[in-house]
Structures are given as structure tokens and as C-alpha cells.
Chain A
Amino acid sequence: MLGNLGTNLKDALKKLAGKTVIDRVAVEELVKDLQRALLQADVNVKQVMQLSQTIKKRSLEEEPPKGVTAREHVLKIVYEELVHLVGGKVDVQLGRQTILMAGLQGSGKTTTTAKIARYFKKKGLRVGVICADTFRPGAYTQIKTLCDRVQVNCFGNPKETDARKIVAEGLQHLKDEVIIVDTQGRHALEDELIQEIIDLNEMTHATHRWLVLDAALGQQAREQARRFHEAVQIDGVIITKMDGTAKGGGALSAVSETGSGIVFIGAGETIEDLEWFDPDSFISRLLGMGDLKALAEKVQESIKEDDIDVNAMLSGKFTLRDMYKQLEAVNKMGPLKQVLSMLPLGGMEVPAEAVDVTSVKMERYRIIMDSMTSTELDDPAVLNGSRVQRIAMGAGATLEEVRELIKYYKMMKRTFKNLKGGEKGMQRLMKKFGRFS
């Protein structure tokens, strides 16, 4: 997927090797190569322009944390931006569910329906397929033949012209754990057919609505995906025909447009040709695994050096003492914002108040905390009115300032808790880094 993006990037990144300062010319070259590769792979033009601008801006403007080379810095930024593009990992559940297949005419919905039916069947689940394509001649024969090959139930009626009716009957008729509804092809400008799929989605209370897209799909991908998403809330994309020479960039634009991820990849005409997609290893491969590993190690090293217990922070046991250490570390590693940005957090947002604290304020906080007892630092819950007064006196600060510090602490604690809870959270990333190291 994405064609020669990997080679282009690796070559471009080589130009940054051994550099301590970010070389504007090298960055511009890298961005140009990246642009070219993405455009040739059919990633949406606007998206490519945006992505390359962001990479350029961030590479040139963000200060690399201490001890991180220019190359690693840029690599990390490229990694993060590509994570956005490729989407998160989609976990396919092995339980009772209804899947609604959606997509343009000829994208491979029926073939993929059969492939997925086989997949669930192999996992030991009972599978039933409903043929809701009432338009294309031979549609029922096509899916019925394929279902028979993998021995799963298939419900349909080639004489019926109302897809809603067939689906209603099929839902009654089939008692299987996994129900897959194959639908007729449609596109963004066909309002009646879009309405039909909205109705089918409501009727089936579909657990998933997967958009099936041809790997060769070009600039239209984003707009088509937008319309499907608006209609039925697409929660996964399947890219078909990856066995050809198409690079799948259009489908990736659809992934980011719908904020979903790639569920499966179709890579052949026969029913076995279904593949997994792991975004992490995909990007790692694209960028060269060694690089990512080195980066991960570096991050861990700098954190260890400064004695911040990331795991404790993430487990919610974030005390004032941890915050004190953190503020100390800031001196060595640069602002918290950048410490956090070392980690590929995907699309996750860290509240601005959490990171936009001036160094002057940081220093004030540190002085205030110097006046706290060990008990207070380890268990901030004990802080009451009289303790706050004592601390303020000791630090030569106002009551206001101490309260502000406590407020900041609480917000930080909340932030770390959220990070932990977040789906693409830091924990997962730390785990991933653990895997590399």
C-alpha cells in the first residue's frame, strides 16, 4: 500500500542523518517526496497538501527534545501524521453481530461478503448472509454460489424488487450469530439509494457498517466516504483488489474522512483472499522498524533519566511528588508539551491548559511545593485550609497561588487518567514501545 512511499521517505530521511539542527532544505525535499508518493498513491489532494504543510511546519518549528537527533525528530512527526491517515486498528469481535456492507457499484461487496462469511465460519461462528441487492442481474446467484462454497446460510429472493422487504424477511428467517447484509452498489449522488441504505441500517440495527472500497479509487474516495458516513456512520473500511497495482491511497482518504480504520484487505478473487491489516506494523515497515525502535528507546531513556514514573502516572497514582519531578524534568527535557509529543498519541488531544504553562509559573509551583511535607506530596488529599495557609507562608506565596497550583495538579491528574482511558491512549503506546525495546 501507498506504493514507493517507504523508499521515498527512507531516502529523504537519510539526508537528515547525523544532523543536529533541522535542515530546512532537507525537510522541504522530504515533504516534496512525500507529497509525490502520496499523490501517486491517490491520497486526496487537499489532504496531502494539509499533511505535508503540517509536517513541514512542525519539523521546522518544534524544538526537538534534548538528545533527539534532527532525523529522529522529523521521523517522529512523519510517523504521527501518518497514523492520522491510516487510522487505528479495528478489532473484529467474534460474537453475535450484524454487518451491513456498503459501497460503490463493482467495488467488491459481494465477493468480500463471502470472504468475511468464511472468516467468521472458520472462527466457529454460525453465519447467515442476506442478499439485499435487488438490482444487479445475477446478484442472488452470485452470492448464493459463493455461500454454498463455504457452507453458510444465504437468504434472498431474485424476484423481489424491494430490498427492505427481503431484509425484514431475512432477519426473521436467519437465526445465525453473525448476519451479513450484502447490498447493491450505490454512490453519493444517488439519493434514493442512499435513503435505502439508511433504512436498511435502521431496520437491521447493524452492529457494523463497513464501506467496501476498490484500491484503485482516486480523488472521489473522500467525497463518497463522506456521504456514506453521513448516511450510516461508517465504522470500518475494507480495501479490495489490493492484488493489483493500485496503491490504496483513495481508500485511506476514506478512512480518515470517516475516522474509522481498515478492517480487512481483499487481495484476490477467490474466497480465501482476505487479509488482516495492522496499522502499526504497516507504518513501522513504511518508515523502517529500526528507526522507530531507536526513537522509542530514546524516549524511554530520557524519561528514566529524569525519574518520572510514567507507568505510575498512567495508572492514576499521580501525586504532587510526581508533578514536582515532572516540573524538574522540564528543565532538562524541554516543555511538557514536547515530552508528550515524543509519544505518537495518534489523534488524542491533550488539553491546552495542561501544557501551556510558562516556565516562570513552573518555577513558582516548584517553590511552593518545596514548602510541602512528604505526606502532602504523596497524598494531596490531606490538603486542607490550614495546610494551604502554612504552605503559602513558607513559600512566600499568596493563598491564590497555592490554590491555583492545586487546581493545576488536579487537572494534570485528570489528563493522565484520560490518557489512560483513551482508546488510542498512551498506555497502548507505552505497551507498544515496550514491545520494541
Chain B
Amino acid sequence: MFKALKEKLFSVRQRLETTIEEQKLDSDLTIHSAPSQGSPEPSALSESPAPTPPPRESEREKKAPGFAQKVVSLVRDREFIIAAKDIEDSLSDLEIGLLESDVAFSATDAILTRVREDLTGSKRKIGTSVDAVITNALSDALLSVLGEGVNILDFIASREKPVKILFTGVNGTGKTTSVAKVAHYLTNHGLTVAIGAGDTFRAGAIEQIDVHGERLGLKVIQHQEGSDPSAVLFDTVQYAKAHNIDIVLGDTAGRFHNRVNLMNQLAKIRRVIQPDLIVYVDEAVAGNDAVIRAEEFSKSVGMDAVMLTKVDMDPKGGAAISIAHAVGKPLIFIGTGQGYDDIMPFEPKAIVADLLAGEA
């Protein structure tokens, strides 16, 4: 995942670093009275990036630094100031990289703004590695968008049984398959699972989840096609209670956020079964619309976490960043294929560290 983005980030980092080094050299040359001990440090490129965040400047200069200020800064503090115009080219490179990775417009803007603010106008003490400054600016920006993440097993352990997890999303994103994968993942961790066939609308949907249940050896509660989905899911919860089952996974029919009656139906399901966790499912190949629909789902029925499917189709995975940015909810899993094992818990810290680690 994020391979292309990783390459892009690497080249942007390199470029920023060169720019900043050159600028420093320029400043050094202009100020003749500058003490000579501040020789340029060796390139930090070969070193591994510092994993700890940098100490934040207490007062950040947001205005374009004037010449006088530069002089003062250089002579007195042995620092130099990164000017916005010097990094614009690199930032526009980063922008294209993000857009090409399907990071939506709004999220791209947010990341760029954050990196720009972090880098420009800030005084950098000579001696801190340039690479660390850049890496940390990027890392902060990405983490601020991706959030902390959640551990599903810890979450389940903290709740009363049966823990009810409801899957929602638009048509064809992979809800049903994801229900099967998550069921498989949880049973692999020693938990018991029952599934509710909540898609009573689409032709063949009940059979689809039923076959998955059969293959995984799990109970699938089902009603007739066309019946009320809240009733099936309610029955599933009752079944789980009666059989002391740890977790209920509720499948639902796909629906578009602009269909009021269908969204009301989902709201009803929510009222009836009171889920512990609403998992919103969307696909990695979705473009800018991912943001719009995530926001709408979040507003009308709510969501607690996101599962991103079909990452095998689009390893760039920018939709993960878009959705997380739009709704501020953690990504819990990614789906990477059509098999039951094609599922991975999503850990933002590890992903971002990997994104910014060493060479592309």
C-alpha cells in the first residue's frame, strides 16, 4: 500500500532538502561577519530518519521573513529561516503526488497547508538535520490526518457481549465480503461470531452471505428477500445472546447517501440493534466522491470506523487518507483481495513510518 506515494514522498523530501541546504549556503555567503564554526553538516540522507517528533517552535513566524530578520537570526541565533517561495516547487510536486494517489482535493489541501506551515517561517537551528525537519513535517501532517487508529480486539474486550458491529456503505464496495473476512479474522483470534444477512434487497445477496457463512462454519441468520432488515439483525442479536456468542456482524444492503428513505432505513436499523461499532466500508479505487459519501454517512447514520477494501486494485491507497480526513474516524482494516485472509489491521503509525522510511 501507498507505494507510489512513498516514492513521491522520498523525492519531495530529497528536493526539499537540497533547496533548504542551498538556501542556508546562500545566507551564509551573504553574511560575512558570520562566525565560521557553523560548517554545513553532512547530508543526513544516509541516516535513518528520526522517529521522534521535533521540538515545536514556541512562537512560529508566519510572515515572510525580511532580510533584517534573517541577519538577526543568523548572527545572533545561528538559525536560518525557511521561506515559503523556496519550497513551493517541492510542495506542488507533493500535491501532484497526493492527487495521483487518489488523495481527495480537500485532504491534499489540508496536508499541504500543514507541511507549509510547519516548514516555512520557522527558524531552524543549524545543527538539526534537514532530513529530520522535513520528515517530521510530513509525518505530522499525515498522522494528523490519519489519526490514532484503533485495535479492534482491545475494543471488543472492553465491551459487553455480544459486541454488535454493523457494516454500512454504498453499493458494491465490498461490505458482504468484508463481513466474511472480519468474521474469519475474529474467529482466528478465538472469538465466536454470528452473522446477520441484513441485505434483503439485492438479488442473490442472502445466498452470497449464506455461502460465506457455510464456508467459514458460521451461523447466518436470514429472513426472506424483501423483508425488513432491522428484523433480521434484531433476530441475530437475540440468537447471539441465547447462544453466548461474542460478536454479531450485521451486513446491510448498499445504498447511496442521497436516497433519504434508504438512509432512514439504516437509521432505523441503528435504533433497533444499537450497534457498538458502525464500520463504514468503502473502496480504495474510489476518487473524490469517497469524501462526499463518507461525510454524508457520518452525518446521517454515524460511523465509528472505516474499512477500506480493494487495496489490491489500487495500492496507492489515497482514499484512506481522504476518508480519514473527511470524517476524522480511524481506519480499522484494509481489504486486499477476495480471499478470507485478504484482510489487514490498519496501524497509522506503522504505515506513516514505513511511508517515510529510508529510500522509496
Bitwise interface map of A from 152 to 194 toward B, beta carbon under 8 Å scored 1, else 0: 0000000000000000000000000000000000011100000
* A77 close to chain B: CB less than 8 A: no
When the two chains form their complex, are residues A241 and B313 in contact, meaning their CB atoms are under 8 A apart?
no
* A138 close to chain B: CB less than 8 A: yes
When the two chains form their complex, are residues A104 and B205 in contact, meaning their CB atoms are under 8 A apart?
no
Q: A209: shortest Cβ distance to chain B, in Å? A: 20
When the two chains form their complex, are residues A45 and B96 in contact, meaning their CB atoms are under 8 A apart?
yes
Total chain A interface residues with beta-carbon distance under 8 A: 44
* B100 close to chain A: CB less than 8 A: yes
When the two chains form their complex, are residues B287 and A249 in contact, meaning their CB atoms are under 8 A apart?
yes
Given the known inter-chain contacts A216-B290, A218-B288, A269-B171, please indicate yes or no for A106 contacting B283, CB distance below 8 A.
yes
Total A-B pairs, Cβ < 8 A = 136
Neighbour of A250 across the interface among B172, B287, B312, CB < 8 A = B287
B166-222 interface (Cβ within 8 A of A) = 170-174, 201-212
When the two chains form their complex, are residues A244 and B287 in contact, meaning their CB atoms are under 8 A apart?
no
Neighbour of A216 across the interface among B96, B100, B289, CB < 8 A = B289
Residue on B with the closest CB to A135? B338
Q: B174: shortest Cβ distance to chain A, in Å? A: 6
When the two chains form their complex, are residues B211 and A138 in contact, meaning their CB atoms are under 8 A apart?
yes
Q: B81: shortest Cβ distance to chain A, in Å? A: 30
Neighbour of A40 across the interface among B105, B172, B338, CB < 8 A = B105
Chain B residues in 8 Å Cβ range of A311: none
Chain B residues in 8 Å Cβ range of A188: 313
* B286 close to chain A: CB less than 8 A: yes
The DSSP consensus for interface residues of chain A is loop
* A207 close to chain B: CB less than 8 A: no
A40 to B108, CA, bound (A): 12
A41 to B287, CA, bound (A): 8
* A107 close to chain B: CB less than 8 A: yes
Bitwise interface map of B from 93 to 104 toward A, beta carbon under 8 Å scored 1, else 0: 000100111100
A206-228 interface (Cβ within 8 A of B) = 214-221, 224
When the two chains form their complex, are residues B101 and A214 in contact, meaning their CB atoms are under 8 A apart?
no
* B316 close to chain A: CB less than 8 A: yes
Q: A35: shortest Cβ distance to chain B, in Å? A: 11
When the two chains form their complex, are residues B171 and A247 in contact, meaning their CB atoms are under 8 A apart?
no
Given the known inter-chain contacts A137-B208, A137-B211, A245-B258, please indicate yes or no for A218 contacting B286, CB distance below 8 A.
yes
Q: A191: shortest Cβ distance to chain B, in Å? A: 13
A249 to B287, CA, bound (A): 9
Neighbour of A189 across the interface among B209, B211, B287, B313, CB < 8 A = B313
* A139 close to chain B: CB less than 8 A: yes
Given the known inter-chain contacts A106-B283, A217-B286, A245-B293, please indicate yes or no for A224 contacting B174, CB distance below 8 A.
no
When the two chains form their complex, are residues A244 and B204 in contact, meaning their CB atoms are under 8 A apart?
no
A119 to B257, CA, bound (A): 28
Given the known inter-chain contacts A189-B312, A189-B313, A244-B257, please indicate yes or no for A217 contacting B204, CB distance below 8 A.
no
Chain A residues in 8 Å Cβ range of B288: 39-42, 218, 246-247
* B292 close to chain A: CB less than 8 A: yes
- Residue picked from A45, A137, A269, most chain B C-beta under 10 Å: A137
Q: A73: shortest Cβ distance to chain B, in Å? A: 29
Bitwise interface map of A from 234 to 266 toward B, beta carbon under 8 Å scored 1, else 0: 000000010111110110000000000000000
When the two chains form their complex, are residues B172 and A108 in contact, meaning their CB atoms are under 8 A apart?
yes
Residue on A with the closest CB to B225? A145
* B319 close to chain A: CB less than 8 A: yes
Chain A residues in 8 Å Cβ range of B205: 138, 142
* B310 close to chain A: CB less than 8 A: yes
Chain B residues in 8 Å Cβ range of A106: 171-174, 283, 310
A221 to B287, CA, bound (A): 10
When the two chains form their complex, are residues A142 and B202 in contact, meaning their CB atoms are under 8 A apart?
yes
- Residue picked from A36, A187, A188, most chain B C-beta under 10 Å: A187
When the two chains form their complex, are residues A136 and B208 in contact, meaning their CB atoms are under 8 A apart?
yes
Neighbour of A246 across the interface among B99, B172, B289, B310, CB < 8 A = B289
Chain B residues in 8 Å Cβ range of A135: 338
Q: B257: shortest Cβ distance to chain A, in Å? A: 7
When the two chains form their complex, are residues A45 and B258 in contact, meaning their CB atoms are under 8 A apart?
no
A105 to B285, CA, bound (A): 11
Residue on B with the closest CB to A104? B313
A104 to B311, CA, bound (A): 12
Q: B235: shortest Cβ distance to chain A, in Å? A: 21
Residue on A with the closest CB to B292? A245
* A141 close to chain B: CB less than 8 A: yes
* B256 close to chain A: CB less than 8 A: yes
* B79 close to chain A: CB less than 8 A: no
When the two chains form their complex, are residues A219 and B204 in contact, meaning their CB atoms are under 8 A apart?
no
- Residue picked from A46, A143, A216, A244, most chain B C-beta under 10 Å: A216
When the two chains form their complex, are residues A107 and B313 in contact, meaning their CB atoms are under 8 A apart?
no
Q: A307: shortest Cβ distance to chain B, in Å? A: 51
A215 to B288, CA, bound (A): 11
Given the known inter-chain contacts A106-B173, A219-B316, please indicate yes or no for A245 contacting B203, CB distance below 8 A.
no
Q: Top 6 nearest A-B pairs by Cβ distance? A: A218-B287, A142-B204, A106-B172, A138-B208, A42-B287, A137-B211
Known: A214-B172, A220-B314, A245-B258. 13 other contacts (CB 8 A): A40-B105, A41-B288, A42-B289, A136-B208, A146-B203, A188-B313, A218-B288, A218-B314, A219-B100, A224-B285, A244-B170, A244-B258, A269-B171
